[in-house]
Structure 1
Amino acid sequence: MDLPMHSTGATGEPPHQAVIDILAGRFGDRLSTNRTVRQQHANTTAWHPAKSPDAVVFARTTEEVSEVLRLCSEHGVPVIPFGTGTSLEAGMNAPFGGISLDLGQMNVILRVNEEDMDCVVQAGVTRKQLNTDLRSTGLFFPIDPGADASIGGMASTRASGTSAVRYGTMKDNILGLTVVMPDGAICKTGTRARKSSAGYDMTRLFIGAEGTLGVITELTVKLHGIPSHTAVAVCAFPTLQAACDTVITAIRFGLQLERIELLDDLQVRACNAYSGLAMQERPTLFVEFGGTEAIVNDQLATFREIAAEFGPLSFDNASAPDERQRLWSARHDVYWACLQLRPGSKFIATDVCVPISRLADCMVATHEDIARTGLVAPIVGHVGDGNFHVSIMADTENAEEMARTKAFIDRLNSRAIAMDGTCTGEHGIGEGKRRFLRQELGVTVDYMRLLKRTLDPKNIMNPGKIFEA
């Protein structure tokens, strides 16, 4: 049994006009059919073709989300949850039209429980907003994807970032969710307790579902103490292999890394030019340690000894806040830095993740593939957990170049899967990686589709994502 599909209607009046009219009466100027607004709620950050919704609704409460879903369920109208629009695999496209449900105005931090080190937030709260609010408490929320994404969107894509090696991903930092189901029912998946054996783990069912099972409207997330002392080491190596071997050895040794990032030589060149740095243009590790000053100094010394085994070209460390900030800002600004490598090109991002023991094999093979294919494509990775990104600077109007680019991405995905890894460590499946999900998980995809049909029988929740038609 296939999931039901939706008609895109004829040119002219949207096929879901009756529902749009009802919602307009309910939400007033918080519903928009303006062409520009609709285009902004299609795919804007990835290279896949944009597909706009018929209308955008700006919700402010869980109850309003429930109203929208109840109405859309009755009429079989697609609903596409929207956070900040930073999906890299076209996760918020509207291939069948419908309603883009923008949660950006649901941006209230509802409760901070300092003693329990958790807080409750609406889905539209962004990670930077939350950490700014928490600053006076000595606590912080550690998950940091490159963009200032919404917490709800980060949960929906099971996001992580540079600090995942120490604090895990979104699935490790959420205690419970409020989710509006496709029929409008409001469900709570957990409590503030740090652990539970009560029934199915429904919280993790929705984390990473990319809005295909329901709409996350509130989240209870874990907080962590800000380390009293932090230091960063920057270490350049003659080869990617040497840098990866250093990472693998440090992980196996049990070092308590806050972050460990690897930039290849081309990425270092881009960061130097954009951020005004003067690093050697060789494969380079950024490593951060946190804790007491004594612990940090001990960890730094041990890491330096490990790195020395693999022929480092340089080893520098920074403990002053402004120095650390400058380095991590350069790391987070790789998008803008990469664009300057080839002015006029478009940024095509893709990622994979492999077991840490296969990291060097996968990265070196990928680097060689880039050279053979003739692409401008720097590599940067959250290598402490085997995850790396390739940023391809491509002329999307050049059919031959795009054919080479797509073939390279296909090979990269297949290479990671063949190494018992995944076609995406962070970006999600969306529209862009649907066929690789079957290659990675086989018959398990059929059970995912069964869950989808059970919870969303009319297939109104973000249709066309994760599963191929």
Structure 2
Amino acid sequence: MNSFSPPSSLGPVDAVIAALRALLGDRLSTNDAIRQQHGRGEDTTTPTLPDAVAFAKTTAEVSEILRLCHQHEVPVTPFGAGTSLEGHVNPVRAGITLDLSHMTGILEVNAEDMDCLIEPGVTRQQLNEFLRDQGLFFPVDPGSVCTIGGMCATRASGTNAVRYGTIRENVLGLEVVLADGRVIHTGGRTRKGANGYDLTRLFIGSEGTLGVITRIRLRLHGIPEATSAAVCQFPTLADAVNSVITVMQLGIPVARIELLDEVQMAACIAYSKLEGYAPVPTLFLEFHGTEAGVTEQASAVEAITADHNGSGFAWAREAETRNRLWKARHDAYWAGIAYRPGKRGITTDVCVPISRLAEALLGAKADIEASGFEAPIVGHVGDGNFHTIILVEENNADEMERAWALDRKIVQRALDLGGTCSGEHGIGLGKREFLETEHGMEAIAVMRSLKTTLDPKGILNPGKMFRN
């Protein structure tokens, strides 16, 4: 690719914008509306606008964009679908937002080896639609329509992780553009290897601070012979949580096991028109396998829930009914927001060892009730991971301060129980202080040294992960 040299009289940002306009044409935008769309994700952080938005279509373009920004020391913020809940995509130091949503190629599918090679702008929904006729699927399911590149950057998880693992376990290799424009390849197509530092895992979860992912080699799975969903409701949250703990400790291979408290269930009933269900603590479950295996798994779980006062254990084998239930679960965040119009949500994302789940979740519920906030609880509880959506008036400073205090209390309890501040949403801007508490300053210093080595000028997604 021919590089463009802007006039030396221009300032750094203007010089980069001039060069990128020559490179990208109308795919370089300084339009206010486009900049505002890239000012933040789905979080409550203060929006900040980039100086320009660059829409890349190829690895070569990403490389040239980063080379120019590195040369002129202009910040670059990678952007996928903008569904981040922790401020990952806020261009806090302006500069260039690098939008990868046009990179949507599905480049290879190797059905015999069950892997594929894609570009970062592909969504899970697009990939699974493409794969369906080949009897394969990609299982990592955060719920929202997010790009797989963004899922890699934030080490995403979701409803299927209890059986199929997170994005980390389902990525075989990456193509990454470094801060200075160099392109490297990590991993490969084999299912295991002992051949040097595991650079693939280094970039998974790095939140765009170490490099920009431009190709992803994914592990695929066979579509199961049989699938069945189930719903069970409980008189108390403790009954529901204790059912989950028993199911997981007995090793029953559920594909999904999701919990909604009574507030979240009320919100979902209203938002998703879930007729026939009561606003009480509820488990949504799914089972994958052979016809006999699915029946055996569901029957075992039904017996466990009955021992914990569960009622109305209802199976759903028909695809239409299952899809309606999981659509409601995936829309839980939007249902929570719609439950109190005009409010936004501060989300927690703690994860604890399964044996400590009851303490963490019931403690969070008590904290919420004491705070006076409404905060639906929903969780991938088979992994020990749950979220609260603290509903707040965004422009009410006192309410925001109290909401963040509640958030800190929930996170601190999880850390005290041997858990983590983030099971799947990442750090971004929202959880930087907790990263320090969880790992300690010596570990943070090592992380900083990696950042400095790979991004010596600090242009890649500055302000994220570390507080300064």
TM-score (norm 1): 0.96
**Residue-by-residue CA offset, 1:18-39 (whole Å, 9 max, x unaligned):** 1111111111101001111111
Task: Report the counterpart of residue 175 of structure 1 in structure 2.
Answer: 172
**Residue-by-residue CA offset, 1:408-461 (whole Å, 9 max, x unaligned):** 011111111111111111111001110110000002111000100111110111
Distance 1:440 1:44 in 2: 25
Task: Work out whether 1:458 is the aligned partner of 2:467.
Answer: no
Task: Report the counterpart of residue 6 of structure 2 in structure 1.
Answer: none
Task: Report the counterpart of residue 387 of structure 1 in structure 2.
Answer: 385
Task: Report the counterpart of residue 407 of structure 2 in structure 1.
Answer: 409
Task: Work out whether 1:41 is the aligned partner of 2:38.
Answer: yes
**Residue-by-residue CA offset, 1:1-44 (whole Å, 9 max, x unaligned):** xxxxxxxxxxxx98611111111111110100111111111213
Task: Report the counterpart of residue 246 of structure 1 in structure 2.
Answer: 243
User: In the alignment, residue 56 of structure 1 is paired with which amino acid?
Assistant: V
Question: Which of 133, 136, 140 in structure 2 is aligned with 1:139?
Answer: 136
Task: Report the counterpart of residue 190 of structure 1 in structure 2.
Answer: 187
Question: Which of 25, 45, 65 in structure 2 is aligned with 1:68?
Answer: 65
Preserved contact between residue 82 and residue 100 of structure 1 (Cα < 8 Å):
yes
User: In the alignment, residue 379 of structure 2 is paired with which amino acid?
Assistant: G
Task: Report the counterpart of residue 111 of structure 2 in structure 1.
Answer: 114
Distance 1:79 1:350 in 2: 27
Question: Which of 215, 219, 223 in structure 2 is aligned with 1:218?
Answer: 215
User: In the alignment, residue 389 of structure 2 is paired with which amino acid?
Assistant: S
Distance 1:27 1:140 in 2: 34
Task: Report the counterpart of residue 307 of structure 1 in structure 2.
Answer: 305
User: In the alignment, residue 463 of structure 1 is paired with which amino acid?
Assistant: P
Preserved contact between residue 123 and residue 216 of structure 1 (Cα < 8 Å):
yes
The farther-off stretch of 344-353 and 425-434 is 344-353
Task: Report the counterpart of residue 281 of structure 2 in structure 1.
Answer: 283
Distance 2:410 2:309 in 1: 28
User: In the alignment, residue 383 of structure 1 is paired with which amino acid?
Assistant: V
Distance 1:342 1:124 in 2: 33
**Residue-by-residue CA offset, 1:264-316 (whole Å, 9 max, x unaligned):** 00111111111111212211111110111111111111111111221113311
Task: Work out whether 1:317 is the aligned partner of 2:315.
Answer: yes
Distance 2:337 2:435 in 1: 29
The farther-off stretch of 240-249 and 434-443 is 240-249
User: In the alignment, residue 459 of structure 1 is paired with which amino acid?
Assistant: G
Task: Report the counterpart of residue 3 of structure 2 in structure 1.
Answer: none
Distance 2:254 2:57 in 1: 39
Task: Report the counterpart of residue 5 of structure 1 in structure 2.
Answer: none
**Residue-by-residue CA offset, 1:296-338 (whole Å, 9 max, x unaligned):** 1111111111112211133111111111111101101112211
Task: Work out whether 1:56 is the aligned partner of 2:40.
Answer: no
**Residue-by-residue CA offset, 1:129-171 (whole Å, 9 max, x unaligned):** 1011111011000011121111111000000100000000010
Aligned positions, number: 457
Gaps of 5+ in 1: 1-12
Preserved contact between residue 240 and residue 360 of structure 1 (Cα < 8 Å):
no
Q: CA RMSD in A?
A: 1.1
Preserved contact between residue 230 and residue 290 of structure 1 (Cα < 8 Å):
yes
Aligned pairs for 1:288-299 (under 5 A) are 288-299=286-297
* Per-residue deviation, 1:367: 0.5
Question: Which of 200, 203, 207 in structure 1 is aligned with 2:204?
Answer: 207
Distance 2:277 2:361 in 1: 21
Preserved contact between residue 109 and residue 116 of structure 2 (Cα < 8 Å):
yes
**Residue-by-residue CA offset, 1:234-278 (whole Å, 9 max, x unaligned):** 111122111111111111111111100000001111111111112
Counterpart secondary structure, 2:349: strand
Distance 1:256 1:99 in 2: 45
Task: Report the counterpart of residue 366 of structure 2 in structure 1.
Answer: 368
User: In the alignment, residue 449 of structure 1 is paired with which amino acid?
Assistant: R
User: In the alignment, residue 41 of structure 2 is paired with which amino acid?
Assistant: T
Distance 2:149 2:360 in 1: 32
- Work out the percentage of aligned pairs sharing the same amino acid: 55
User: In the alignment, residue 343 of structure 1 is paired with which amino acid?
Assistant: P
Task: Work out whether 1:340 is the aligned partner of 2:359.
Answer: no
Gaps of 5+ in 2: 1-9
TM-score (norm 2): 0.96
User: In the alignment, residue 45 of structure 1 is paired with which amino acid?
Assistant: E
